[in-house]
Amino acid sequence: SPLLRLKFIDEAMRSFAEKVFASEVKDEETRQEISPFDVEDICPISRQEMREHMILHESSAEKRKKRLFRMKTIALAVPVAQRSITRLSAIDEVISTSPLYQTVPDFQRVQITGDYASGVTVEDFEVVCKGLYRALCIREKYMQQSVQRFPRTPSQYLRAIEGEVWRASDIGPVFTPPVKDGQDPFETGNLPEDLGYHIQMKDGVVYIYGDKAAAERNEPKDLPYLSLEHFVDDMNFLLALIAQGPVKTYAHRRLKFLSSKFQVHEMLNEMEEIKELKNNPHRDFYNCRKVDTHIHAAACMNQKHLLRFIKKSYCVDADRVVYNANGKQLTLKQLFQQLNLHPYDLTVDSLDVHAGRQTFQRFDKFNDKYNPVGASELRDLYLKTENAINGEYFATIIKEVGSDLEDAKYQHAEPRLSIYGRSAEEWPKLASWFNNHRVYSPNMKWMIQVPRIYDVFRSKNFLPHFEKMLENIFVPVFEATINPQSHKELSVFLRHITGFDSVDDESKHSGHMFCTKSPKPKEWTSEKNPSYTYYLYYMYANILVLNNLRRQRGMNTFLFRPHCGEAGALTHLLTAFMTADNISHGLNLKKSPVLQYLYFLAQIPIAMSPLSNNSLFLEYAKNPLLDFHQKGLMVSLSTDDPMQFHYTKEALMEEYAIAAQVFKLSTCDMCEIARNSVLQCGLSHEEKAKFLGENYQEEGPQGNDIRKTNVAQIRMAYRYETWCYELNLIAEGLKAE
């Protein structure tokens, strides 16, 4: 039917999207709020206008009848795949027939019956459902293309809407299996052979050719490449969707309903959930697995740990040459004398690495906190991989943090190391540091962060244009993928990398709207920084090709997990919806009900760091973590920068403890958030199966092993049924006339 065929957007839609973009970013630096309905009781259409709107559209008896019939057919349904077509099955049927549902104790369900379409007319309801359906199709397409994750349940609903058969896909991310006992994590003996391919960057994207002659004939290998035109069309569609009145009304009301429904569920079933957990032997919050899904390597230790290490290094290495100042070599003792310091006199206060009141809304001041005692020399010595001692101190600190995690046993971390794109030598140098110092811990998975600071490098003339930065970031990785034998250290390092992150201050305003007319990366020669969307598009476009190539070679693939929605325009969250497997922060979702609802429907994981936000952008009590958790968005807790925000040795437990106290979280809430963190992270399939249960990839209560996760089956059933109910509403709205 024409409704289900995705069409390209016409010029009218494109110009509307441009107007929406302009309204989103105008006065961005001075305006506090982007959207008018942060206040709970305000609805996008005022009550009076809405009443008139409804009366006008509901005048004819026929329409009234049609709507009554439509809404009464909405029952809770879950997808059941059949050979001919994917059909939806009532929850009662599933409960009575599924053996896996028998593990869910009886609980009280909230059910709504009668004539209700979330405050929009039948016509508007159909428009809303079409829009949400297409938005989910867009995300599904970009996730599958790039070998990232899209949940099965929405896929089953999308196929049911299209009247097609849903088939389980085996195309998903590939992670390096855990190191076996006695195996060396740095071994280079089993590296694949050289493919002899030729690579060339064209319009900011790496193209792969069989050989140089094929490159001259412009015949690239058969790998998926991103179409800029299609991407911009999809982006414009989403821009228009999040600005449409009826869609905003619908999403706003559904989210309010989700929040209220959870509160009623808790009121009715809290004691039953607690009973389930009490009857679960050996497992409690302390010994269920939790992952710090967002932490920066340069600040992964707390301030006391850093201070202790500085003092210890001075005791052991006072006469060691550790610093090169303009050709003059300094010992550690001379370096401290030059800074007029003695380590013995240092305290955590004089170290001054903690973010305080002065850093609120001041990202520039926050960045200065990376310099212990305000001295960049100490940062270079203790927190960098490239210096006179080849990053030895930094490696030792990280290994100590890893050792603490191993002692704690149930905590894992995903630290970010930086690749700036200033030079092509950064990758081999970082890989050499990683291998030489054997920076490995079974409780750590590594990620690469790319700071968005092209403007800094361009102004100092380190780079001629933006494409050079992209080349420096991606070409070495492609070379190591094609010919691992010639790049042994880098190939080993890449085995331990699970994803890419994009980082910087999001509140910096660019003003450039990414579109088909945007300058190509080679033409971007100005000193102005490209927009957030521009950065994300070109990172995603290269990761897309890279993942498909690595998957073909049987190598691990990478997830794209940018910082997003900490500040800045809503377009950041929209671009991440299209390109990112999961995001860090997501605070600005509270300003857009449509995006928030889409993040819920697609269950996009969000790593939230309320303590970090409290020092930088948003006071703790106003953090939307609790709100998101209640509505059913997939949130996890992370520390961001323990050096700047935390006081104790176990920073992640500190984060959980404070959230539990401030938001009055139950044990079940905390274990659910911990389970989300394991699902979100880059741990291998084998590790996740061990930590969460063999069926962890199933959605709903079937995928939960309470003996490992300590999450009540009642909670899992509630989450799954609520999710299916919302997806089923869209399916009902798109039923053929």
Dist CA 633 CA 597 (whole Å): 9
Q: How confident is the model at residue 512 (pLDDT cuts 50, 70, 90)?
A: confident
Q: Which residue has the higher pLDDT, 248 or 166?
A: 248
Q: Which residue has the higher pLDDT, 355 or 689?
A: 689
Q: What is the pLDDT of residue 24?
A: 64
Dist CA 359 CA 449 (whole Å): 22
**688-696: long-range pairs with CB below 8 Å, 24+:** 691/289, 692/289, 695/100
Section 523-533 average pLDDT: 90
Query: Within 10 Å of residue 457's Cβ, how many Cβ atoms?
Result: 19
Tens of pLDDT, residues 176-217: 898 888 888 888 888 888 888 999 999 999 999 988 888 888
Q: Residue 434 in contact with residue 399, Cβ under 8 Å?
A: no
Q: How confident is the model at residue 411 (pLDDT cuts 50, 70, 90)?
A: very high
Does 381 score more than 90 pLDDT? no
Q: Which residue has the higher pLDDT, 314 or 536?
A: 536
Share of the chain above pLDDT 90, in %: 50
Q: How confident is the model at residue 2 (pLDDT cuts 50, 70, 90)?
A: very low
* pLDDT-wise least confident of 38-42, 334-338, 349-353, 422-426: 38-42
Q: How confident is the model at residue 732 (pLDDT cuts 50, 70, 90)?
A: confident
Burial 327-356 (b: 16+ CB within 10 A, else e): eeebebbbbbeeeebebeebeeeebbbbbe
Tens of pLDDT, residues 51-68: 555 555 555 555 555 554
* pLDDT-wise least confident of 11-15, 447-451, 516-520: 11-15
Q: How confident is the model at residue 369 (pLDDT cuts 50, 70, 90)?
A: very low
Closest by CA position to 204, among listed 535, 480, 502, 510: 535
Tens of pLDDT, residues 669-721: 999 999 999 999 999 999 999 999 999 999 889 999 999 999 999 999 999 99
Look up tokens 């890419």; give the residue: 500
Q: What is the pLDDT of residue 210?
A: 86
Mean pLDDT for the chain overall: 84
Q: For 294, what's the count of Cα atoms within 13 Å in the CB-facing half-sphere?
A: 30
Does 69 score more than 70 pLDDT? no
DSSP 141-201: HHHHHTT----HHHHHHHHHHHT------------PPPPPTT--TT--TTPPPP---EEEE
The terminus-to-terminus CA distance of the chain in angstroms comes to 11
Q: How confident is the model at residue 651 (pLDDT cuts 50, 70, 90)?
A: very high
Does 367 score more than 60 pLDDT? no
Does 360 score more than 60 pLDDT? no
Q: How confident is the model at residue 362 (pLDDT cuts 50, 70, 90)?
A: very low
Ranked by mean pLDDT, the top range of 56-65, 319-328, 577-586 is 577-586
Share of the chain above pLDDT 70, in %: 83
Residue 624 φ/ψ region, left for φ over 0, alpha for ψ in the -120 to 50 degree band, beta for the rest: alpha
Residue 421 φ/ψ region, left for φ over 0, alpha for ψ in the -120 to 50 degree band, beta for the rest: left
Q: What is the pLDDT of residue 66?
A: 52
Residue-level length of the chain: 737
Q: How confident is the model at residue 484 (pLDDT cuts 50, 70, 90)?
A: very high
701: helix, strand or coil = helix
Q: Residue 529 in contact with residue 466, Cβ under 8 Å?
A: no
Active site residue 685: no
pTM for the model: 0.87
Greatest alpha-carbon span in the chain: 92
Section 587-600 average pLDDT: 94
Does 256 score more than 90 pLDDT? yes
Q: How confident is the model at residue 31 (pLDDT cuts 50, 70, 90)?
A: very low
Among the options 265, 412, 585, 629, which is catalytic?
585
Tens of pLDDT, residues 217-235: 888 888 899 999 999 999 9
Helix (H) or strand (E) holding 415: strand 411-418
DSSP 7-68: ----HHHHHHHHHHHHHHHTTTTT-S-SSSTTSTT--SS-HHHHHHHHHHHT-SHHHHHHHH
Does 375 score more than 70 pLDDT? no
Does 27 score more than 60 pLDDT? no
